[in-house]
Structure 1
Amino acid sequence: MLLDEVGLVLDMAEISIVIPAHNEERFLPKCLAAFRRAEAYAGISIEVIVVLNRCSDGTAKLAEKAGAVLVHEDEANLSKIRNAGAAVASAPVLLTCDADSVPHERVLAVILRRLQSGKVVGGGCLTLPERWSLGIVCSVGAVMPYLIWHGVSFGLFWCRTEDFRAIGGFNEALASIEDLDFAKRLKALGKQRGQRFGTVLRAPLVTSCRKFDQFGDWYLFLNPRFVWRVFRGTDRAAADQFWYEVGR
């Protein structure tokens, strides 16, 4: 709670949610509606921050109508986009999620309970595709060893806002795998304190399969060299090919 100048009690958001958005009018409404359901389930107040990135569709109007805080960042760099949203976050807990993903109704309640326990520094979320195929299973299997090796998860990141800022947020020098890099540094911070990196398992995130729709379900499995280029983190051409310049 927060007191204003005349002593009235003001509601203060407990979680700030940063959502990068590049022409997301197709997916954003479902994402925002799901977070509002999660807000109601947890009985808390959230602050939704939509970071508009080179949008030429109705994303901004949809986000504004939904009551989101709007931030503009036109650089083709997901780290800068997420950091721009985090820079204006006012809540003590910070969460970042992609616009084409739908969070579970219980996810915010689970995250707050985990952080309040003091046993975890933050973490990620079990992420499930909106559809399955043999190609998707094999392609996911092509990248899983990287996550297992480092003992982290991704999809939806959450931690205390002060800890996000303490580790410098997302690394803006990276063109890709900025999420894996962030998870590793957050895990390292927790290790210093005797805290674990947590993964929300019982309130999974469902994400779109638009990359598989664009490139094919077998693409990652059949192109291990491309996967290697992406996981280098500094290959701008690979990042543009898969994320920033698709369809442009």
Structure 2
Amino acid sequence: MDTLFSVIIPAHNEEKYIGKCLRSIKRAAKEIKEKVQIVVVANRCTDRTAAVAEHYGAMVVENEDRCISSIRNAGVKASCGKIIVTIDADSIMTKGTFAEIKKLLFSGKYIGGGAMPKFDRMSLGIAVSTAYVALNLIPVMIKSGGMLSGTMFWCRRRDFDKIGGFDESLVSLEDMDFARRLKALGKKCGKKYGTLRKSRVITSSRKFDEFGDWYLLKDRKLTKAIFTGRDRKAADKFYYDVR
């Protein structure tokens, strides 16, 4: 049986979370007849992330980069599915996801798209922090042509290749850039950029759990620096050097 979906999961020391993610993918895969491949890109892992991934039957790709774009691209390069789906290792895919993506892509009306996130818990601090982030992203969204969903991207492999995958010159905001370029390709083809309506992505509040629900507001200079997309020092401090 040919592989229809390849799910790409970047993972850095995610042994505590990735099991839930993988189980959610397998549950969603049961609702379609086609084969679903899971590719976990084990990025600089020093824990059992790779072992957990292999336990659930995922392909594991070792990677040492400090750029989420190149990490995701490495996973896509190693995969074989006709449709690419990306999701974070600490997120959960809801049932019906593959069925909905398949329906939208096979309709011929959509180039691909994203999904809407939902935190696994909510508080005043998380709500205010995410609102602050949204306000800072308004200029970027205007430049990108409006609000485009992300969180979990989905598109055909051929279209992923046409736009060159994720931009490896960006150290942050690579998701918004990918959405913008995918939408632009769709416009040329007479297709829309879509957002899953029935399926959601349950995203982890782990950073808020660890650093506090208001942590994005504690160092506003750093948070704003992330929204340039090219501040290497800020990206390292925010993403890659977190302890």
TM-score under structure 1 length normalisation: 0.91
Aligned residues: 237
Match of 1:119, as an amino acid? K
- Are 1:91 and 2:64 an aligned pair? no
Determine whether 1:154 maps to 2:150: yes
Residue 141 of structure 1: aligned partner: 131
1:84 to partner: Cα distance: 0.3
The structure-2 alpha-carbon separation of the partners of 1:153 and 1:223, relative to structure 1 and needing over 3 Å to count, comes to farther
The CA deviation at 1:225 is 3.2
2:183 is the counterpart of 1:193: no
Matched residue, 1:46: 36
Kindly provide the CA deviation profile for residues 132-180 of structure 1, in whole angstroms up to 9, marking residues without a partner as x. 0011111111223437643201110000001111101011111111111
SS in 1 for 2:3: coil
Identify if the C-alpha distance between structure 1 residues 220 and 70 changes in structure 2 by more than 3 Å, giving closer, same or farther: same
Note the alpha carbon deviations across 1:7-30, whole angstroms, 9 max, x for none: xxxx11110000011111111111
Determine if contact 1:142/1:224 at 8 Å carries over to the other structure: no
Gaps (5+ residues) in structure 2? none
Equivalent residues of 1:135, 1:221 under 8 A apart: no
AA at the equivalent of 1:242: F
The alignment partner of 2:57 has SS state of coil
**Is 2:27 aligned against 1:31?**
no
Q: For residue 202 of structure 1, what is the amino acid of its counterpart?
A: K
Structure 1 residue runs of 4+, over 3 Å off?
A: 221-225
Secondary structure of the structure 1 residue equivalent to 2:199: strand
Task: Provide the residue aligned with 1:5 in structure 2.
Answer: none
Distance 1:185 1:139 in 2: 27
Quick one: distance in 2 between partners of 1:195 and 1:223? 40
Alignment root-mean-square deviation, CA: 1.4
Cα separation, 2, equivalents of 1:144 and 1:160: 28
| Residue among 45, 54, 77 paired with 2:67 | 77
Aligned counterpart in structure 1 of residue 50 of structure 2, from 35, 41, 60 = 60
How far apart, in 1, do the equivalents of 2:76 and 2:92 lie? 20
* Contact persistence 1:122–1:157 (CA under 8 A): yes
Q: Does 1:175 align with 2:171?
A: yes
Q: Contact 1:91/1:161 (CA < 8 Å) preserved in 2?
A: yes
Tell me the TM-score normalised to structure 2 length: 0.93
Shift of the 195–143 alpha-carbon distance from structure 1 to 2, 3 Å rule, reads farther
Q: Secondary structure at the match of 1:105?
A: coil
CA distance in 2, matches of 1:197, 1:223: 34
Aligned to 2:114: 124
Identity %: 44
Given residue 197 of structure 2, which amino acid in structure 1 is its aligned partner? L
Alpha-carbon shift at residue 227 of structure 1 (Å): 2.9
